Structures are given as C-alpha cells and as structure tokens.
C-alpha cells in the first residue's frame, strides 16, 4: 500500500503543474489592465507603469509564470494589492470556512445519496424506486443558487426559523450551536444536486452487484435479506461508489463559490468573487490553485480508499 500511495502522489504532480498553467493562463488572457482596475481614478501613466512594475506585469508572460511558480514553491503566494496582506494568509483564513461548508455538504449528500440509492435498487420498479427517482431528477435539474434563494425566502423570511446569511450571528453567538444553525441552509442547498448524482450511481452499482452470482449464493445459503444487502452487496458496490463521492467533492468545492455569495458565507468562494471584480490577480490565482489542489488530493484519498476495498486495483 505505501508503494501505491507514493505512485499516486507522483502521478498527481503533472496534474498540479497543469492546473497551475491553466490558472495562470486564464488570468493572463483576461482583457484589461489590472493596474487600471487597482488605481481607478488615480490611473495616471506613471502610476500604471509603477503598478505593473511592482506586480511584474511588464515582463514576458512565460517569465511571469516561472517567477510565480518559483515563489509559490517557497510558500510565497504574493501579496494582495487590494487587501494589502499576504495572499496565503487571506486564502487560509477563508479556506477554513469553505472546508466547513463543503465538508458538511459532502457528508450530507453522501449519507442521503447512498441511502436513497440502496433503497431504490432494492425496491426496483416499486413505488419507493419511482419516488426516489422522481426526487433525484428534480434535485439534479434544480439550479443550486435558485434553490438557495427559495430556502432563504421560506425558512428565513416567511417562517423565520433559520438565519438567512453569515456564518455566525452578528450580535452574540460565535459558538458551535450558532455555527451549526447557520450551516443548515447553505450546506443543504449545496448538497442537493450532489445527492441526486450519488443516488443515481449508487442505484446503478447496487443493481449490477445484486445480479451477480455471489449474491445469489449468499441467499441460497439462507442468509437474511438485510445481511445479503448490506454485508455482501453494498460492500461490493462501495468500490464503485467511492470514486463518485470523490468527484462530487470537487463539485461541492466549486459550487461553494456561488452558494457562499448567496448566503454571504465568508469562505474562499466569496473571496474569489470580490478578487475577480477588483482584478486582484495574485489573490485569484492563489485561491483557485488551492481549491484545485485540494480537489486533486481528495480524489487521491478516494483512490486509496478504493484500493483498500479492492486490492486488485493496486495492480
């Protein structure tokens, strides 16, 4: 297993390098002069030239990339010109809030999606299967940002049972119960689409396993249906389900960008929206790269977990 983990880590290095090229290239292709956005009404030719020189934007693009990568390799993500603080400090401060939101959403969608998928497969073509399939299709088809606005309208404005925005109460609070009650709406909104995807693929994986010979053998031995489903069939299907959860981890990380904006959650998504609007290039590059690398590492963990369940994958 250590050799397999090392191999997967090495294979992730080209992916991370490719991500850095894409992130840097996209920001370089955005039209407009960042110095003009930063300076606003103070954008004289002298000030624009000074800002471009300080940011290194007067150099060739390839040279800017290698300087940026070299600095990041030393832990220096640059300095946010708008916020006047190190990029890494701002990203790590916001990233904790995003991890809380994305982690809660991933746990919620995994539990609900796997449960719904298993029940739907076991009751194939029955009313339970049809009801689950109906709600799964609605969940997948509904835009998350629109659903978030509906939740705010119902639970915060109409019924006033849950807070509409923020991570903690403005006055008082700040403890774990306060965090959890603010987490309910954004985490649920972010989890609904991912729940539908996990449920559909769990159903497909379970149906495939339930048709295999070892399941029929287990039933022929006289095992009760619960043991056949959860001890044998579900364990075999889990090998196919884990990669799906890893992929959905990337979805909830990316979806946090607009969900944080809707619910005013102080995470890295809201930070990126503000940084893009102010053309804070280094902050955007650092934030996007941290999210992308986190997604790669989560999928690496999913691959390792899949190999533990099915040792044949290591070869």
CA 156 to chain centre: 25
Q: What is the pLDDT of residue 101?
A: 93
Q: What is the pLDDT of residue 1?
A: 65
- Model confidence at 68, pLDDT cuts 50, 70, 90, reads confident
Structural contact between residues 51 and 39, judged by C-beta atoms closer than 8 angstroms: yes
Alpha carbon distance 211, 193 (integer Å): 28
Instruction: Assess whether pLDDT exceeds 80 at residue 264.
Output: yes
Q: Give 107 or 11, the one with higher predicted confidence.
A: 107
Mean pLDDT in residue range 300-305: 82
Alpha carbon distance 241, 308 (integer Å): 14
Alpha carbon distance 112, 109 (integer Å): 5
Domain chopping of the chain, boundaries: 2-87, 88-314
Express each pLDDT in 175-224 by its tens digit: 888 999 999 999 999 999 899 999 999 999 999 998 888 888 888 888 88
Number of Cβ within a 10 Å radius of residue 121 = 24
Instruction: Assess whether pLDDT exceeds 60 at residue 315.
Output: no
Q: What is the pLDDT of residue 251?
A: 83
Find, among 265, 269, 260, the residue nearest to 291 by Cα.
269
DSSP string spanning 262-314? HHT--SHHHHHHHHHHTT-HHHHHHHHHHHHHHHHHHHHHHHHHHHHH-GGGG
Phi, psi of 266 (to 5 degrees): -80, 60
Residue 79: which H helix or E strand, with range?
strand 79-80
Q: What is the pLDDT of residue 263?
A: 93
**Which of 112-126, 219-233, 297-311 shows the lowest mean pLDDT across its residues?**
297-311
Instruction: Assess whether pLDDT exceeds 90 at residue 125.
Output: no
Alpha carbon distance 89, 286 (integer Å): 11
Instruction: Assess whether pLDDT exceeds 90 at residue 311.
Output: no
Share of the chain above pLDDT 90, in %: 27
Mean pLDDT in residue range 18-38: 79
CA 196 to chain centre: 16
Alpha carbon distance 93, 300 (integer Å): 24
- Model confidence at 276, pLDDT cuts 50, 70, 90, reads confident
Identify the bridge partners of residue 134 per DSSP, sorted by sequence position.
none
Number of Cβ within a 10 Å radius of residue 313 = 13
What six digits make up the tokens of 93?
């401060």
Find, among 66, 57, 60, the residue nearest to 37 by Cα.
57
Mean pLDDT in residue range 151-175: 87
- Model confidence at 107, pLDDT cuts 50, 70, 90, reads very high
- Model confidence at 312, pLDDT cuts 50, 70, 90, reads low
pTM for this model (two decimals): 0.86
Which residues, in sequence order, are CB contacts of 198 under 8 Å at separation 6+?
Answer: 109, 110, 112, 113, 114, 117, 241, 244, 245, 248
Class of 88-314 in CATH: mainly alpha
- The structure tokens 């701002």 sit at 90
Structural contact between residues 256 and 98, judged by C-beta atoms closer than 8 angstroms: yes
- Model confidence at 313, pLDDT cuts 50, 70, 90, reads low
Instruction: Assess whether pLDDT exceeds 90 at residue 114.
Output: yes
Number of Cβ within a 10 Å radius of residue 118 = 22
Alpha carbon distance 221, 215 (integer Å): 10
Mean pLDDT of the chain: 86
């Amino acid at each position: 297993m250590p050799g397999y983990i090392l191999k997967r880590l090495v294979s992730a290095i080209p992916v991370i390098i490719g991500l850095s090229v894409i992130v840097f290239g996209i920001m370089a292709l955005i039209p407009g002069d960042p110095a003009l956005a930063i300076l606003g009404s103070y954008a004289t030719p002298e000030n624009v030239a000074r800002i471009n020189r300080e940011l290194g934007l007067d150099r060739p693009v390839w040279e800017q990339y290698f300087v940026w990568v070299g600095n990041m390799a030393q832990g220096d993500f640059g300095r946010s010109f708008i916020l006047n603080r190190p990029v890494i400090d701002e990203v790590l401060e916001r990233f904790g809030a995003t991890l809380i939101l994305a982690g809660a959403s991933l746990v919620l969608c995994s539990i609900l999606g796997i449960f719904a998928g298993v029940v739907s497969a076991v009751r194939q073509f029955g009313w339970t299967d049809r009801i689950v399939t109906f709600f799964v299709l609605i969940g997948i088809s509904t835009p998350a940002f629109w659903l978030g606005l509906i939740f705010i309208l119902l639970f915060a404005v109409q019924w006033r049972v849950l807070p509409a925005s923020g991570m903690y109460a403005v006055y008082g609070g700040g403890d774990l119960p306060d965090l959890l009650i603010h987490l309910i709406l954004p985490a649920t909104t972010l989890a609904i689409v991912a729940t539908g995807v996990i449920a559909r693929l769990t159903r497909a994986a379970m149906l495939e396993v339930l048709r295999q010979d070892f399941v029929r053998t287990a039933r022929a031995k006289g095992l009760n249906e619960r043991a056949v489903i959860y001890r044998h069939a579900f364990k075999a299907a889990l090998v196919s389900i884990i990669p799906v959860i890893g992929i959905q981890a990337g979805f909830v990380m990316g979806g946090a960008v607009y969900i944080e904006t809707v619910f005013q959650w102080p995470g890295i998504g809201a930070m990126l929206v503000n940084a893009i609007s102010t053309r804070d290039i280094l902050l955007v590059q650092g934030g996007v790269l941290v999210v992308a690398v986190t997604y790669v590492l989560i999928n690496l963990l999913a691959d390792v977990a899949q190999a533990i369940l099915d040792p044949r994958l290591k070869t």
